[in-house]
Amino acid sequence: SQQSFEDLKRLQAQLVQSEKLSSLGQLLGGAAHELNNPLTAMVGYSDLLTATSLTDEQRGLAEKMAHQVRRTKTLVSSLLSFARQIPSEKTKVNMNALAQTALKLSQPQLRARNIEVQSEFATDLPQVMGDSNQLLHVCLHIANNAMHAMEEAGGLLTVATRHENHMAVLEFSDNGPGAREPERVFDPFYSTRPVGQGAGLGLSGCYGIIQELAGRIVCENRAAGGATFRIELPAVKSNVRNFSIRKPGHSSSQSAESENQACASLPLPPTP
């Protein structure tokens, strides 16, 4: 059937992507280790150089050199993180709380770019198994991508969760120009940003994190404009009910009514 054919194509694409990441990880791991030691020495010597008696021009050149060496060292560190294949410790994670944390951490950048945030969190969302730090990194990176897409004119970032087919689903949608090649955004070193503003490894790393958790991450352009990043993770089976924390002065009926509302707005605090 057509559905079976589409599922087969998707699985084939995931397998090809997995092989790309595995081969590239082995290559990058060896190269990054060899580069890291001389770069550490260069950082130390450049710091010693700037601490000596220099003219203003010489000091400016030394500081520029130190900045570029540190930038290279940061890139090498990201290559090592990308190549590292150490399984993370997994615990139960609340994706609603994770998405809210990512939005709070991103608020200064969102305000600066005049981006409005709207959330649509499902009240019946099950927990997932994963590393909360890694999953927060994924959320922050996708939110950062959306901010870059809307940095010129501002826009709307919608973050939504829902429970679908035994999966916890988290979506980040923006109304920017959309992805140029959505099928390639998870390829290593693929980037549409200017040279020096990204190595093109961030989304590849996100893909690896979600794949390790037996999940799925995709990027699609929206018909109304903009792009959506969709994360699907297997739901943890649990018979434990979720209890809400009632605020003082709120009746049980008010609490139940607020819980039944799946759509909630997260207004950004005013600029001080």
* Its pTM surpasses 0.75: no
Residues 150 and 203 in one domain: yes
How many domains is the chain partitioned into structurally?
2
Cβ within 8 Å of residue 211, ≥6 positions away:
14, 17, 18, 217
- C-beta of residue 191 within 8 angstroms of C-beta of residue 181: no
pLDDT at residue 40, as a whole number: 81
Do residues 120 and 56 both lie within one domain? Answer: no
On whether both 176 and 43 belong to a single domain, the answer is: no
Q: Reduce the DSSP state of residue 242 to 3 states and report it.
A: coil
Distance CA 91, CA 59 (A): 49
Alpha-carbon span 225 to 176, nearest angstrom: 7
- For the chain, report the end-to-end CA distance as a whole number of angstroms: 58
Together in a domain, 225 and 147:
yes
Beta bridge partners of 158: 118, 173
- Tell me the residue range of the domain where 55 lies: 2-83
Is 272 contained in some domain? no
Question: Is there a single domain that holds both residue 112 and residue 10?
Answer: no
Q: Are residues 207 and 126 in the same domain?
A: yes
> Which CATH number goes with the domain that contains 34?
1.10.287.130
Indicate if 70 and 151 belong to the same structural domain: no
Question: Which tens digits make up the pLDDT trace of 137-171?
Answer: 889 889 988 898 887 788 999 999 999 999 999 99
Which of 61, 83, 105 represents a domain boundary (last residue)? 83
Mark which of 83, 116, 151 sits at the end of a domain: 83
The C-alpha atoms of residue 226 and residue 223 are separated, in whole angstroms, by: 8
pLDDT in 10s for each residue of the chain, 272 residues: 676 766 666 666 655 555 555 555 555 666 666 777 788 888 888 888 888 888 888 888 888 888 878 877 766 665 665 555 555 678 999 999 999 999 998 888 899 899 999 999 999 999 999 988 889 888 988 998 889 888 778 899 999 999 999 999 999 999 988 888 777 787 766 666 554 455 456 787 788 888 888 899 999 998 888 999 999 999 998 654 443 333 334 443 343 443 333 333 333 333 33
Residue 231 lies in a domain: yes
